[in-house]
Amino acid sequence: METTNQNNLDEIISQDTEKINNDEQTKSEIVYIEVDKLHPHDANPRKNTGDVTELADSIKKNGILQNLTVVPATGYWYGDYTVIIGHRRLAAAKQAGLKTVPCVIREMGQKEQIATMLLENMQRSDLTVYEQAQGIQMMLDLGETVETVAEKTGFSESTVRRRTRLLKLDSDVFKETEGRQITMLEYDKLFEIKDDKKRNEVLKSIGTNNFNNEILRAVQAEKTTEIRKKFFEDLNEYAEEVKDTTGLVYIGWFDNTKNITDYSIPECTKLYYRSYGSGVGVSLYRSTTADEKQAEQEKTEQENKIKEERDSKIRKLKELAERTYTLRRNFVKDFTLNEKATSKNLQNFIITALLEAALLEDNYFDIEKFIEMLDVEYDEDDLDEMQGVREVYERSNKTLQNKIVIAGYVLYNDRKTNDCYDYTGNHRENESLQRLYDGLITIGYEMSDEELAMMDGTHELYTTEDE
């Protein structure tokens, strides 16, 4: 069945032939033109003709089997011709040593020239997604609309918009990463990031094992910035910001102003806060009472400093643990078969999960978590009726392999084994979590650099025993 692109291109070629046949000044459809008088089109969406050695060898043996389509050149090359269709054939013909090549001469406006080149290259799958985006943008710049571009190219309107927004990305970084095996969905993920500069930083990691982690980190950072802005707007109604906390009493770490009002604070004191970094939350202080001023100030300050640093360290370690948990959960929830996920590896993953479940105290099969990850819709009223795993399986649209992996993951009870630090922020080995990672790796999971550092104790957040 012919594609829409093919139909559009055939229509242009058909119109081309009919026009030439009716042109009294043109006695034949095909004319032979010297290769030195043929020039590539400046706006050709395909920027690189690639290696034409094989095509040149074929031309030496068989000649050019399909003519080029050209238009009379203007400007500097006036009197010569500009190639619309056949840039690779022209390059190969020159390499093969041909002096002339068969051409059909047409009269086209600039818009029709670009549309024809774009359609011809897309039909042959010769364009990268970035070159497609540039070609579409040229059509838009010449007065086309998203709707008319979609009609002429065969792309959906959504695809046209998704392609053109790629031009917001740094072109140099984009070209550096194009050689990797990257899907359009991965490019789409970049636009979950609102900030252009940060989006281009994350673009550098696309197609690597760190990409999903960098996306998640950037998106979470932007959400944190929005929450932080609202938090400080509310906080300034309660407290005053200070840089020097000498002589103040440390109350605790707060990331919600509602918790401040619930805290028992002497009425005779004022509230102050100190902010660190770009995260949500502050260290909250109050002024001292007359009795407290008589206490040992130096001891109090030292204790406050230690506790404040520990709270900050533990908070960041908790965020790290939550982020790595999300990476593992997303892998399992969106699991697809890959070369590592053999039947034997899937079977071993389930067996290991069952053994792990037996090792954990008070472990049980979390039916609600299992239902959530299978995307099974349910009401709270009928939850009791879905206690059987079989019924949950039947309601899910996921593949059998997905169900097996998700079931094994839930048996691991990942949330009980999520961190690798003690109450002081020192690294603590987590054998159960390591076994989970080992199992996931056998079925295709790739640990990010940050996960590796979290597990082996080299992450910058860990304190040492001497600290």
State what percent of residues in the chain have pLDDT above 90. Answer: 28
| Band (14; pLDDT cuts 50, 70, 90) | very low
- pTM here is 0.53
Measured CA angle at 273 (ends 270, 277), to 5 deg: 175
**Residue ranges of domains in the chain:** 4-158, 228-315, 316-456
The pLDDT of 306-322, averaged and rounded, is: 91
Residue 437: which residues within 8 A CB-CB, separation 6 or more?
Answer: 328, 445, 447, 451, 455
Fold of 4-158: 3.90.1530
Most confident among 22-31, 141-150, 289-298 (mean pLDDT): 141-150
Higher-pLDDT residue of 15 and 268 is 268
pLDDT tens digits, residue range 400-421? 778 778 877 877 777 666 889 9
Q: Which amino acid is at 21?
A: N
Asked if 190 and 173 touch (Cβ cutoff 8 Å), the reply is no
Task: Name the pairing type of β-strands 68-72 and 81-85.
Answer: antiparallel
pLDDT tens digits, residue range 124-171? 656 678 877 888 888 888 788 899 888 877 788 998 899 889 889 998
Is the pLDDT at 302 greater than 90? The verdict is: no
Helix (H) or strand (E) holding 60: helix 53-62
